[in-house]
Structure 1
Amino acid sequence: MERSRLLQCLAADYMRLREVAGTGLNAQVPSCPGWTVSDLVRHVGQVYLHKALVMQTGAWPDPWPPKDTVTEDPIALLDRSYGALTHEFSRRGDTDRALTWHDPDQTVKFWIRRMAQESVIHRLDAELAHDLESAPIPVDLAVDGIDEVLRVMVDYGSHAWHEDLTDLLATAKGRTVRVQAPLTPSPADPAASADGSPAPATTPAWLVRIDPEGATVTALASPAASAAAATQTTPDAVVTGSPADLLRWLWSRESTPTTDAHPPIRVDGDEEAINELQALLRALTQ
């Protein structure tokens, strides 16, 4: 996604989080057990401020968090930290160097993307806490978020922090899971998504292979990658859903199911392969 679009989505989700939090800070957050909305908002404010300081100083702040962020009004902290974060973004270009935990990408653009995705997930948390209908997740943001969680969190993370996942990966047998998000274009414009955001040119899909060494994720959006994947063995399992529903499933932020609701995610194939993926997701997205 382009910088301007990511910043637009970041702003929208910050405002939505602020709006929902304003209806009550004491509600429990079911997707973050033990947290209230107050804890959730404080966490997001601390995350924003942390990344602003990392860009300012080029180092990880230590100790963390600052004492004033623990006692400050959470919405005031959110506002102050969002201002600090976006100010730092405005002073830097996408490719300017910035310390990150992702060794292959030490740029400001990494944090712009990460904070946009952090914000959409946590505003979903606030909506779940108040049992509110979720604001739509733009297709382009959802597709980017699926790509981030699979390629950055799962692929990179399972290798970078392998020692923490040894027991979890020990029984992996190289099973594969295809994650795919068929798009539903607008009837008025088959090239655009229904929410008006830019739609990918091809159906977004990823192939995840998990073995004792970690996970390998291949993006299949390009025709060349899709053709190469087609020559491989049929995946052991397939997960299918809209981009927004898939993003929620991958982050365990699904809405509370009802008895008459059609499941938004379809899971076919080897249950053990799905369980392996979900276990890695839980371990790497806490």
Structure 2
Amino acid sequence: MTDFQDYHSRIAQIETEAARLAALAGDLSIPVPTCPGWTLAELITHVGQTHRWTAHMLRNRVQERVWSRQVPSGLAEGRSGDAAWLAAGAAEMAEVLRATDPSMEVWTWGPDRRAAWWPRRMLFELVVHRADAELALGAGPEIPAATAIDGVEEFLHNLPSAVWVTRSLAELGAEGATIHLHATDADGEWTITQGPAGRIEWARGHAKGDVAVRGPVSDLLLLLYGRRSPDALTVFGDRALLERWLPAAAF
């Protein structure tokens, strides 16, 4: 697909994922183990606020960082969001995304300074937090293989620009180390090479790494986001490297 087609396809996926998350927002007091210290109320509020922030950034063509907490949430002081509030914010964001030229220049924290960066990032913000909610409720997250492949590559594409992550990776002393990910249920293989100053490089395709991880591509995506333990997948080689690298790479 072209960038334009991808842009609009991801908006439709956002709408689907937002509806799935809203449907899980019943008892908001339930703790979310994959987001320590949060309940579903905090999770829903975080996601809905992020949607309103995204709409603000694009509607106003913002060129410098604005923190999400600086954007009005529509909630009374001290109140948390609920399913209806989440759905309203997602609908607002989708409307703004559709009205925005994907090539428009706008601030992002990633490597792409165009509006086209935002729907992909917001899609995987939703996918991962929907998985958080499902895990909190005792359900197994289901992520289509094509979506999970896109999610792995979105994560790797943005990781070198996440300066708060590269600082942590720089402290590992692992320059030159390689991590290979191999999907067992889809055509997806990637090799991550730890570079200088905490930055990474990555490439698609088969290769030998210092450590290799095999499993369903949805589990590989959740592994990168710290939602799956390496114990749930098959690991070959330097497991200690993997167990040091994953927490440092989390964003």
TM tier, smaller: 0.7 to 0.9
Among 151, 154, 157, which residue is 1:151 paired with?
157
Instruction: Tell me the CA shift for residue 274 of structure 1.
Output: 1.0
Q: 1:133 to 1:241 in 2, by over 3 A?
A: closer
Rounded to whole Å, the distance in 1 between the matches of 2:37 and 2:137 is 15
Distance across 1 between alignment mates of 2:222 and 2:166 = 27
Give me the TM-score of the superposition, normalised by structure 2: 0.86
The answer for the alignment partner of 1:64 in structure 2 is 70
Per-residue deviation, residues 117-176 of structure 1 (Å, max 9, x unmatched): 100001111111111233x211111001111112312x332xx4477437623x224211
- 1:235 is matched with 209
**3-state DSSP class of the match of 1:71?**
coil
**CA–CA distance in structure 2, aligned partners of residues 29 and 126 of structure 1:** 7
Task: Flag the 1:94–1:176 CA change in 2: closer, same or farther, 3 A.
Answer: same
Please, what is the CA RMSD of the aligned residues? Answer: 2.5
1:80 aligns with one of 88, 101, 107: 88
Q: Closer, same or farther in 2 for the Cα pair 1:109/1:206, shift >3 Å?
A: same
Cα offsets for 1:211-269 (capped at 9, x unmatched): 44223222214xxxx5xxx5xxx4211111111111111112238x9xxxxx6411110
1:213 lines up with 2:213 in the alignment: no
Aligned length: 242
Structure with the greater alpha carbon radius of gyration: 1
Give yes or no for the alignment of 1:132 onto 2:139.
yes
AA aligned opposite 1:204: G
- Rounded Cα–Cα distance in structure 1 between residues aligned with 2:178 and 2:164: 21
Is the Cα contact below 8 Å between 2:175 and 2:196 reproduced in 1? yes
CA distance change for structure 1 residues 33 and 264 in 2, over 3 Å: closer, same or farther? closer
Distance 1:86 1:110, change over 3 A: same
Share of identical aligned residues, percent? 29
Unaligned runs of 5+ in 1: 185-202, 258-262
When residues 149 and 73 of structure 1 are mapped into structure 2, their CA distance, relative to the original with a 3 A threshold, is closer
Q: Is the 8 A contact 2:102 2:116 kept in 1?
A: yes
Contact 1:29 1:35 in 2 (8 A): yes
Residues 170, 199 of structure 2: 8 Å contact kept: no
State how 1:51-130 maps to structure 2 within 5 Å.
Answer: 51-59=54-62, 60-61=65-66, 64-66=70-72, 68-69=74-75, 70-71=78-79, 73-102=81-110, 104-130=111-137
Structure 2, unaligned stretches of length 5 or more?
none
Which residue of the partner structure matches residue 13 of structure 1? 17
What is the deviation of 1:181?
Answer: 1.3
